[in-house]
Structure 1
């Protein structure tokens, strides 16, 4: 019997400019540009933390005033995205050196090591490493 694999393929994040967003996510966060395909009136732009990841970030340029209002506040100010790492300190120091804005000092929780940061738009992320890693 064949089993189907289900996973999150893409998470869309509203951005103001494709090229600025690509530069930020690839340079500051170390993501990889997977695809940048022109489409009528827009582009299909996909980045990922690594090429083996099943979940990718779709950089979606705001197309109207309503969408522009959500840039940087897609989740009402709470942590919106979670970037899991196998080496917290490596990624924390690399991101810090690139000027990523951290909202707090790293902290140890029962589930692992975590720190909140904001992307270029103000969306809040957790960088975390599971306690088992």
Structure 2
């Protein structure tokens, strides 16, 4: 049996501002943007990735309350790269806010950044394709 994660939902304030950030600043690809009645089906995908983010505009107060805090302040997403220095420089130049300087860890090079809503992400270049902090 083979399975893979395809989409993860991220609640956003506005479709277009989220697209501008993820595509314009992070370099993701807008893979789907189609109307669905009063909503849109919006998917952004990191280059070369099979998995993507479903950007879901908050439809009520309860959903709006989750914007920017899907994990209680922990890092929510781990963006792997094959060239940390290239992507860190490009993202910094695009105005992405990194919360720390890049650091070298036994599992790879990493730095935490925030998206436009304050959701924390790791930009990570693993030392080995399968390595993770649990492997060391």
**TM-score, structure 2 as length reference:** 0.92
| Corresponding residue of 2:111 | 115
Q: What value does the CA root-mean-square deviation take over the aligned residues?
A: 0.9
Residue 29 in 1 paired to residue 39 in 2? Answer: no
Superposed CA deviations along residues 67-88 of structure 1, whole A, max 9, x for unmatched, are 0001000110100000000000
| Corresponding residue of 1:62 | 58
Residue 6 in 1 paired to residue 19 in 2? Answer: no
What is the CA-CA distance between 1:105 and the residue it aligns to? 0.5
- Cα distance in 2 for residues equivalent to 1:132 and 1:65: 42
- Cα distance in 2 for residues equivalent to 1:97 and 1:79: 22
**TM-score, structure 1 as length reference:** 0.94
What is the CA-CA distance between 1:5 and the residue it aligns to? 2.7
What is the CA-CA distance between 1:54 and the residue it aligns to? 1.6
Structure 2: 5+ residue stretches without partners: 130-136
Q: How does 1:13-92 map to 2 (within 5 A)?
A: 13-50=10-47, 52-92=48-88
Residue 130 in 1 paired to residue 102 in 2? Answer: no
- Cα distance in 2 for residues equivalent to 1:32 and 1:5: 25
Structure 1: 5+ residue stretches without partners: none
